[in-house]
Amino acid sequence: MTGYKEEEVLGENCRFLQGPLTNPHHIDEIRSAISRNQSVSVTLVNYRKDGSFFHNQLTIDPTYIEEEDKYYFIGVQKDVTIEITAQEQLQQALAEVERLSTPIVPIEEGISVLPLIGTLNERRIEMLFNSFTSRNTSSKDRYLILDVSGLARFNDSFGRDILNIYNWLKLMGTQLVLTGISPDMAIHMSTMEDDMSFILVYQSIKDALPKLKL
């Protein structure tokens, strides 16, 4: 696992496996447990003889020898690099899926489109706000077309969510344009008709573009 021969490590303190990426808090956790004669399990970044690092799941348990009135400690190491790497790759993939679920696409100068597909729920709304915030630092869109024709499901709070998006974009100097509203969506929005009278609504993106470019 480490690349060292038996004679190179016998009698040596395992700290020689530590390196720049080894978390000092994990080392303190080990020391604290040993000083209290307690078990401890941590996953450390350790280094092989060739300089490459690996994730080492280290478990240390105390054993009391009554005849000697002394504690000994038994340590077991397991290389969990494959598991940790797989977890990191999964998190990266999930982050990419989230990013792609709220794609803001520029189509004209000062005009971008955000097509929503699938489900609009609280998590998706949160992701939308994150996209708006990060994009506002590099873009000054006059209009953002939110196309909802691809939404299959949405919450009862659909109308309120759209109004919140409108107000959020307004603070950043961008006008919300809504396209692709279905009859069910219109029903959910009807109780908020006065609040939403400032939102530009068109049947499709194709219908909206000529008006916005005037």
User: pLDDT (tens digit, 0 to 9) for every residue of the chain, 214 residues total?
Assistant: 788 787 777 777 777 788 888 999 999 999 999 999 999 999 999 999 888 899 999 999 999 998 899 999 998 989 999 998 888 877 765 555 555 556 777 888 889 888 888 777 787 788 887 777 766 655 678 999 999 888 877 777 788 888 888 888 888 888 999 999 888 888 877 766 666 778 888 999 999 988 887 6
Judge whether 78 and 56 are in contact, CB under 8 Å.
yes
Q: What is the pLDDT of residue 137?
A: 52
Strand partners, 101: none
**Phi, psi (5° rounding) for residue 181?**
-75, 130
Strand partners, 176: 144
Query: Kindly report the CA angle at 66 between 60 and 71, in degrees rounded to 5?
Result: 25
Q: What is the pLDDT of residue 85?
A: 86
Q: What is the pLDDT of residue 43?
A: 93
Q: What is the pLDDT of residue 40?
A: 94
Distance between CA 121 and CA 156 in Å, rounded? 10
| Residues 122-157: b if buried by 16+ CB within 10 A, e if exposed | eebbeebeebbeebbeeeebebbbbbbeebeebeee
Q: What is the pLDDT of residue 6?
A: 76
Domains and CATH numbers, the chain: 6-86 (3.30.450.20), 102-212 (3.30.750.24)
193: Cβ contacts below 8 Å, ≥ 6 apart: none
Residue type, 58: L
Burial of 162 by CB count in 10 Å (0-12 exposed, 13-18 middle, 19+ buried)?
Answer: buried
Q: What is the pLDDT of residue 93?
A: 58
